[in-house]
Amino acid sequence: MGNLKKIQTRYAFTFLSPWIVKLLIFWMYPLLYALYLSFTKYKSLGNTTEFIGLHNYQSIMVDPLFWKALYNTILYTLGSVPIATFFALLLAVLLNSKLSKFPSFYRAGLFLPSVTSIIVITLIFTNLYAKDGYINSLLQMIGLPHSEKGFLLETSTALMSVMAMDIWLSTGYYMMLFLAGLQSIPIDIYESAELQGANAFQKLIKITLPLLKPTLVFVLVIATIKSLQIFVEVYTMTKGGPLNSTLTVVYLIFTNAFEKTDAMGYGAALAYVLFIVIALFSYAQSKLVKNNG
């Protein structure tokens, strides 16, 4: 027996050696190195690193740009996550009902944006949101309030426009997760409820939603994590503008680390702060949903 275990150990570590290399070099080292960088002032000119302790973290706390970015990011998350989740749940329930005629067509159509490159999507929407783009032209044509400069160029609409795109983009993916959850609910529960005279609405409230709660928690957590990390959309569509109205935390990390010559340490500290914010959000969310029933 001892011999078998020895052979197993030898093979296990041989097979796992790629993971161990990856873990140490491409995960543990960067995580620790980022932490170290966050305690330093690194200047790319001259390649100098100066240890400054907690100074970066102290600067973050009094940096108005950080608070603006955090505010925007949280606003973005609180706006897009519930709406996308609601639509996703609604569409999943509709799609899963016996009355839906072409379920695989609906599934494919709704999931399509999720497999498309985010760059391609931001490109299309930059065009749609422009001053003489389709959305604005349509609003103008039917006489509704429209944008003077284009939706992405006005402080009042820029963040909302990115949010709307994100809801459009991610609803299908979350719907797919809800569908998987719905299909794991045993049919006989519904059948016995029908025997007792439950209508469609009662079945939804009393059976479907409570049993879907694990999926709901999962969707909320990944949607929140994704929203708190929003970067590419902002980078390609608005560059954080106008007047920082779409500045997000990751965009701020990016500009500090890669567009300034002396703020990489500050960027690393920001990244750790974001990491903590994300961890807190996910923890609070799973607790909250668990306690409510």
Partner 1 sequence: MKPIVNNKIISSLIINGILIATVIVMIIPMIIMLAYSLFQYPESFTAPLQFFQETPSFQNYADIFITDTFGRYFVNSLMIAIIVTIGNVFFASLCGYAFARYDFPWKHILFASVMGLMMVPQQVIMIPLYRMMVAFNWIDTFWALIVPGILAPFAVFLMRQFIQSLPSDIEDAARIDGAGELYIFFRIVLPLCKPVITVLAIYTFLGSWNSFLYPFLFTNSPEMRTLPVGLAYYIGRQSIDWGHLMAGASISAIPVLLLFILFSKKIIEGLTAGALKE
- Cβ-in-10-Å burial (0-12, 13-18, 19+) of 289 comes to middle
For residue 227, state whether it binds partner 1 (rule: CB under 8 A): no
For residue 264, state whether it binds partner 1 (rule: CB under 8 A): yes
* Contact assessment for residue 220 and residue 289, using Cβ atoms and an 8 Å cutoff: yes
Q: Which of 101, 143, 144, 187 binds partner 1 (CB under 8 A)?
A: 101
Binding string, 105-124, against partner 1, x = CB under 8 A?
A: xxxxxxxxx-xxxxxxx-xx
Smallest gap from Cβ 167 to partner 1, in A, equals 11
For residue 144, state whether it binds partner 1 (rule: CB under 8 A): no
Smallest gap from Cβ 164 to partner 1, in A, equals 11
List the structure tokens of 168.
């459009």
For residue 125, state whether it binds partner 1 (rule: CB under 8 A): yes
* Number of amino acids touching partner 1 (CB under 8 A): 91
CA dist 181 and 280 (Å) reads 26
Nearer of residues 13 and 71 to partner 1, judged by Cβ? 13
* Contact assessment for residue 190 and residue 203, using Cβ atoms and an 8 Å cutoff: yes
How many degrees, rounded to 5, is the angle at CA 42 between CA 38 and CA 47? Answer: 145
- Residue span binding partner 1 (CB under 8 A) among the ranges 66-74, 126-134, 153-161, 284-292: 126-134
Nearer of residues 37 and 163 to partner 1, judged by Cβ? 37
Name which of residues 45 to 84 contact partner 1 (CB under 8 A): none
* Contact assessment for residue 128 and residue 168, using Cβ atoms and an 8 Å cutoff: no
For residue 27, state whether it binds partner 1 (rule: CB under 8 A): yes
Q: Which of 54, 78, 94, 243 binds partner 1 (CB under 8 A)?
A: 94
Name which of residues 147 to 206 contact partner 1 (CB under 8 A): 168, 172-173, 176-177, 179-181, 184, 200
Nearer of residues 27 and 51 to partner 1, judged by Cβ? 27
- Residue span binding partner 1 (CB under 8 A) among the ranges 134-142, 188-196, 201-209, 283-291: 134-142
For residue 5, state whether it binds partner 1 (rule: CB under 8 A): yes
Smallest gap from Cβ 60 to partner 1, in A, equals 15
Whether the CA torsion 252, 253, 258, 260 is positive or negative: it is positive
CA dist 279 and 267 (Å) reads 18
Q: Which of 39, 57, 190, 235 binds partner 1 (CB under 8 A)?
A: 235
For residue 100, state whether it binds partner 1 (rule: CB under 8 A): yes
Cα first-last separation, the chain = 49
Smallest gap from Cβ 177 to partner 1, in A, equals 5
